[in-house]
Amino acid sequence: MKIICPQEDFAAAINIVSKAVATKTTVTIMECILITAYGDEIKLTANNNEIGIDTILNGKIEEEGMIAFDAKFFADIIRSLPNSDVELTTNEKYAGTILCQPSDTERIELGIPGRPGDDFPYLPEINQKGAIEISQMSLRDIIRQTAFASSESDSNIIMSGEHFKIEGNKLQVTAVDGHRFAVRKIILNDNYDNVEAIIPAKTLNELNKILKDDANEIVQMFFSDKYLMFMFDTTVVVTRLIEGEFVNIERMMMNDYQTKFVVPKKILSETLKRASLISREGDKKPIVMDITDNKIYIGIKGINANQNEEIAIEKEGKNLKIGFNPVFLLDVLNVIDEEEVTIYMESAKYPCYIKDEQDTYNYMVLPVNI
């Protein structure tokens, strides 16, 4: 194999596929990046069997072939090169030679060990029919605004995933763990057949690192029985789906409320940040919210440290005293972009909801006993 690519493009492509490189594995080929150069296409691939990514690398093929390199070492080497053309050649023993001549005063030749790559786990073939389109920015936002609420523990595999549901022109994404849920709804530009799937939150978080914050760039999603494929720019991301039935959150949705208040997001989230510091120091006590007509009193009575704050609010309905783990409320506020949030409660024993009028976001947090 012999290819010539601009160093910047090479480093950027490696950065993309690196998100799918296995870190702790006994299958060492999964710690590699595969380079294939056939026809007029140079492709980089990584695959850890949870998530697989390939991306097209801009460059010239002088001799076709394929090779696999240890991802970490190869990434370090390519990043360490000057911004010029990089010529990569491999021989029949799978040794790679990198050549750069950025100027008359400098010549760089590096020899690095490769492997045949014929044991590399290829990405599954997905039928590219019925693409569902969404902008990179929207998909990025939706994942950022929900993934935190999925369970990090592996004990409930369903809750470690996010539920994607498409009905007509609506996409609804839901994450849930034992204490809370996060629901985001978005209107798509087209109508699609109904489809739903559970996607590992971990792989969505990796996907988010390579999506652009650009409303004009499109992502195409293709659902299959076992996989979901995302196509954008010259990159393909395939993630395994989680089998099973997702948690029915319909019955956890708000029916009614007795107390509703509007509060400045920044002020409440800074109060909750202090609450999490005080709570950590003071025997993990919950916060108590005492909601009155135009003020909310937030307090923690720890043995060592305590908190006693007041925030002016606009309130409708009954007064209420309710307890929370401050971190769960803080997680929600951290992903809301609006300056004010509206919070709905029914009683000290019922869930609390943070949602907007249009129902584009809906967060539920369970209270704790006080």
User: Which spans of this chain sit near a copy of itself (rule: CB under 8 A)?
Assistant: 73, 76-77, 80-82, 104-113, 264, 267, 270-271, 273-274, 277-278, 281, 304-312
Name residue, tokens 């596929």: 17
Phi, psi of 159 (to 5 degrees): -75, -10
**DSSP state, 338?**
S
Complex with a copy of itself: residue 27 or 312, whichever CB lies closer: 312
Complex with a copy of itself: residue 158 or 305, whichever CB lies closer: 305
Complex with a copy of itself: residue 107 or 209, whichever CB lies closer: 107
Question: How many whole angstroms separate alpha carbon 79 and alpha carbon 10?
Answer: 9
From residue 265, alpha-carbon distances to 77, 297, 309 in Å are 45, 15, 15
Question: How many whole angstroms separate alpha carbon 369 and alpha carbon 117?
Answer: 56
User: 61: buried, middle or exposed (CB in 10 Å: 19+, 13-18, 0-12)?
Assistant: middle
Q: Cα-atom radius of gyration of the chain, to the nearest Å? A: 25
Complex with a copy of itself: residue 52 or 114, whichever CB lies closer: 114
- Cβ at position 339, least distance to a copy of itself in Å: 13
| Order of strands, sheet of 227-232, starting from the edge strand that comes earlier in the sequence | 65-70, 32-38, 41-47, 51-57, 235-240, 227-232, 218-223, 132-135
Q: Give SS3 for 141.
A: helix
Complex with a copy of itself: residue 93 or 349, whichever CB lies closer: 93
Cα-Cα end-to-end distance for the chain: 68
- Cβ at position 78, least distance to a copy of itself in Å: 11
- Cβ at position 330, least distance to a copy of itself in Å: 12
- Cβ at position 353, least distance to a copy of itself in Å: 23
Q: Give SS3 for 279.
A: helix
- Cβ at position 64, least distance to a copy of itself in Å: 25
Complex with a copy of itself: residue 305 or 348, whichever CB lies closer: 305
Name residue, tokens 């026809």: 39
- Largest Cα span, the chain: 79
Residue 86 β-bridge partners: 5
- Cβ at position 305, least distance to a copy of itself in Å: 5
Complex with a copy of itself: residue 77 or 254, whichever CB lies closer: 77
- Cβ at position 63, least distance to a copy of itself in Å: 21
Complex with a copy of itself: residue 6 or 264, whichever CB lies closer: 264
Q: Give SS3 for 304.
A: coil
- Cβ at position 261, least distance to a copy of itself in Å: 13
Phi, psi of 17 (to 5 degrees): -70, -20
From residue 69, alpha-carbon distances to 78, 113, 147, 364 in Å are 12, 7, 32, 46
Q: Give SS3 for 327.
A: helix
Q: Give SS3 for 49.
A: coil
Complex with a copy of itself: residue 60 or 107, whichever CB lies closer: 107
Complex with a copy of itself: residue 25 or 80, whichever CB lies closer: 80
Question: How many whole angstroms separate alpha carbon 115 and alpha carbon 344?
Answer: 58
**DSSP state, 368?**
B
- Cβ at position 70, least distance to a copy of itself in Å: 8
- Cβ at position 338, least distance to a copy of itself in Å: 17
Question: How many whole angstroms separate alpha carbon 358 and alpha carbon 349?
Answer: 26
